[in-house]
Structure 1
Amino acid sequence: MVSEDQQCAGWLEVFYNGTWGSVCHSPMEDITVSMICRQLGCGDSGSLNSSVALREGSRPRWVDGIKCRKTDTSLWQCPSDPWNYNSCSPKEEAYMSCAGKSPSLVPGVRRFSCLASK
C-alpha cells in the first residue's frame, strides 16, 4: 500500500513486469481485502474506500477482478482478470484501510512489497 501518512492504509499496488502499478477495486469482496491485509501484516480485515480523491500521475493499473476464495492462502492464488497495463480507469484504483496491527515503518511514502512479482 502506498500512503504518505498511514501505515496500514493506502493505494494498493503490486510489482509486476519490473514496475509498480495499481490494483483495481472491482469486484473486490471482503474475503479479498482480508487476504491482502493479512499478507501485509495489517490485521485480519479491512475495507475499500471509494471516496478518496483521484491520484495524480500516470502509472500502470495492472490487474482487476481479483476474487479470493476461502481456500486461498496467498493473494497470488486468487483468480483475477488478465493482467494488462490499463486494466481499469484511474477512478477504479483500490484504496483500502486495514484494521489491526500496524507494521513499523520509517516516515515518508510507504510501499509494501509483500505482493512481489507474479
Structure 2
Amino acid sequence: MLTCKTLSTDVKLVDGSSECDGRVQIMYNEQWGAVCHSDWDLADATVLCQELYCGDIAEPKAYMQPSGQIWMDQVACTGNELTVRNCPFNEWGVSSCLDGLHAGVSCQKTVRKVLVRIVVKAKSGVDVNDPAIKNQLLDMISKVVGSKGTYKEYWRIQPDEQVFHKQRTTTGLF
C-alpha cells in the first residue's frame, strides 16, 4: 500500500486500537490535553477524522478519564472545518467537564474495490508474459495508479498463464 499524507502534529488519538481510533488529545501551549465529551457529536468526529487523514466515516466515542488537562469543551463543528481548532468551542482550558468523559472517535477510511482490466500491446518479439517484462509492466502501472490515491494490489495469473489480472483497493482521489 502506498500512502502519502501530512499529519497534523497538534492533535492525536490515544488509548485506541489504531492510529485512527481513540481518545482525542490536542496540544496547546506545548502541553497535551483532552477534549471534553459534552456536545461531542458526529460533525466534530468527522472533522477530526479528516484532519488526521483517517477517512470520512466517523463514530464519536466517550472515554472515562477521571483526571487530566481539558483544553477544549463544547466543541461545535459544522463539518466544513479543516481542523478541530477551527470549530467553535469554549476558551482554551475553560471547561465544565465534570463527568470525566473525554471525547474520542473511531474513524474508517472509505474503500472502494475496483477490478481493472488492462490491454497491453507490445512490439513484435516482446513476450509480455516473460517474468521480467511482467514486473516492469506492474511497476509502471503501480506508479501511475499510485499517484492517484492509496491502493493495494493483488495480481493473479490465469491457469493458461497468458493473462494476469490486478485487483486494486483504493482510497483517495479515485
Q: Do they fold alike, i.e. is TM over 0.5?
A: yes
2:35 maps to 23
Structure whose residues are more often strand by fraction: 2
Q: Which amino acid aligns with 1:63?
A: M
Call closer, same or farther: CA 1:86–1:73 in 2, change over 3 Å. Answer: closer
Call closer, same or farther: CA 1:2–1:90 in 2, change over 3 Å. Answer: farther
Percent of residue pairs bearing the same amino acid type: 29
Unaligned runs of 5+ in 2: 1-12, 111-174
1:94 aligns with 2:100: no
Between the aligned partners of 2:80 and 2:55, the Cα distance in structure 1 is: 18
1:65 maps to 74
Q: Which amino acid aligns with 2:72?
A: V
Shift of 1:29: 2.2
- Equivalent residue pairs, number: 98
- Runs of 4+ that moved beyond 4 A: none
Looking at CA atoms only, which structure, 1 or 2, has the larger radius of gyration?
Answer: 2
Unaligned runs of 5+ in 1: 102-118
SS at match of 2:107: strand
TM-score scaled by length of structure 1: 0.69
**Aligned-residue RMSD, C-alpha:** 2.2
**Greater relative contact order structure (CA < 8 Å, 6+ sep):** 1
Between the aligned partners of 1:38 and 1:71, the Cα distance in structure 2 is: 10
Shift of 1:4: 5.9
